[in-house]
Amino acid sequence: MTMSLNNHAVAKGNAIYYSETFRTLIETHLPWLINHRDTDTSIIDSQIAYKYESDFYGLLSYLGIGMAYHWTILRVNGLHSPSDYLASNVSLKLPNTVEIDRLKTLHTLNHKMN
């Protein structure tokens, strides 16, 4: 039995999450996201952290976090590239996706007005 490659495709989410202008907005709001009352800290099992060392996006996928949020969570955790993730970092800050979506909405509305 053969399966289509499309059956294995992962939904990336709205393209706005990947735009330079949205990423600039996230960068300017990093302190707010990091310190937000709804940002959780999650402790990663050391075996899982080891498995995903240098593959931060793989770790986030394993945790069930949508691809659209990967880059923002990467930055909230002080990383610049998915390969920067070290197994010794078992404590992850996870901003509430509602707040990320709120920033996306503000960004979208702002660009519609301009």
- Residue ranges covered by each domain of the chain: 14-113
Q: 64-108: per-residue pLDDT in tens?
A: 999 999 999 999 999 999 999 999 999 999 999 999 999 998 878
Q: Which residues contact 33 (CB under 8 A, 6 or more apart)?
A: 26, 39, 72, 76, 95, 99, 100
Q: At 93, is the secondary structure helix, strand, or coil?
A: strand
Taking the C-alpha atoms of 18, 91, 103 and 37 in order, what is their torsion angle to the nearest 10 degrees? 180
Rg (the chain; Cα; Å): 15
This prediction's pTM: 0.84
